[in-house]
Amino acid sequence: MARLSSYKISWLFLYFFTLVAVSSAQLSSSFYAKSCPKALSTIRSAVNAAVNQEKRMAASLLRLHFHDCFVQGCDGSVLLDDNSTFTGEKTAGPNLNSLRGFEVIDNIKSQVESVCAKTVSCADILAVAARDSVVALGGRSWTVLLGRRDSLTASLSTANSDLPAPTSDLSTLISAFSKKKPKHH
Ligand code: HEM
């Protein structure tokens, strides 16, 4: 009897940890290894082509990822366009008339869709493009963890309140960054 219950308890633990593992959906650098093995090379070539055409684009793509991550996390929300029933983040003060590179991301997304449809998230494309941009200009590389889900929502008000302003002093900047507690690249 005692043996039976400890057996049951160990299954319960296994079940619980499986649930935790599934629900916390760990990001992984090999997330697309099977589902879209050409994803990373497709993004890298497209970033290199864009940066070869205009060096500044590398900076713009890095900034796009930063402005994505600071509002609702790195979920692609910065990419969503306004329409009659939806307001995105593009018109926020820190974004309007200064964020650039949306058409480069659109182009990368369509290339990635043609190698494997409906597989790679836009949020992951932004994260990888930011890294590849830095590398394209001779910066250090880093491993990007993948598997982000794209948001169906955006927040104009959070973009306005949480993205730091050029006038922010040091303590405002420190609190703006610590509020985000970044967990993933
Ligand atoms: C610390 C708070 C920050 C403030 C207040 C700030 C503010 C700004 C401003 C005002 C610009 C000029 C935008 C324009 O062209 O009109 C800019 C550009 C830029 N920012 Fe930031 N930024 C901050 C942090 C960051 C971070 C953390 C990153 C990268 C991870 C970043 C990456 C860039 C890049 C690459 C550009 C140039 C973009 C381009 O030329 O298209 N910034 N930033």
The predicted structure's pLDDT at residue 153: 98
- Ligand 1 contacts CB of residue 175 (under 6 A): no
Check: CB of residue 147 under 8 Å from CB of residue 82: no
Show contacts of 30-35: CB within 8 Å, 24+ apart: 30/146, 31/124, 31/145, 31/146, 31/147, 32/119, 32/120, 32/124, 32/146, 35/116, 35/119
- Ligand 1 contacts CB of residue 167 (under 6 A): no
The predicted structure's pLDDT at residue 25: 72
Task: Encode pLDDT of 123-162 as tens digits.
Answer: 999 999 999 999 999 999 999 999 999 999 999 999 999 9
Read off the tokens for 181: 């507690």
CA distance 38 to 111: 10
Within a domain: residue 4? no
C-alpha of residue 30 to centroid of ligand 1, in Å: 30
Within a domain: residue 16? no
CA distance 25 to 149: 10
Select from 55, 63, 173 the residue to mutate for testing ligand 1; criterion: most ligand atoms less than 8 Å from CB: 63
**Per the annotation, does 54 bind a ligand?**
no
Q: Is 0.85 surpassed by the pTM of this model?
A: yes
Read off the tokens for 179: 């509020």
Closest residue by CA, ligand 1 atom 14: 98
Within a domain: residue 66? yes
- Ligand 1 contacts CB of residue 151 (under 6 A): no
Within a domain: residue 140? yes
Within a domain: residue 8? no
Within a domain: residue 22? no
The predicted structure's pLDDT at residue 135: 98
The predicted structure's pLDDT at residue 185: 47
Give the ligand 1 atom nearest the CA of 130. Answer: 30
Residues in the chain predicted with pLDDT less than 50, given as ranges, are 1, 7-24, 185
The predicted structure's pLDDT at residue 14: 40
What burial class does residue 171 get, using C-beta atoms within 10 Å of its C-beta: 0-12 exposed, 13-18 middle, 19+ buried?
exposed
- Ligand 1 contacts CB of residue 138 (under 6 A): no
CA distance 45 to 30: 19
Within a domain: residue 36? yes
Count of domains for the chain: 1
Within a domain: residue 95? yes
The predicted structure's pLDDT at residue 2: 53
The predicted structure's pLDDT at residue 70: 97
Give residue 63's domain range.
27-180
Give the domain CATH number at 160. 1.10.520.10
CA distance 32 to 77: 21
The predicted structure's pLDDT at residue 181: 77
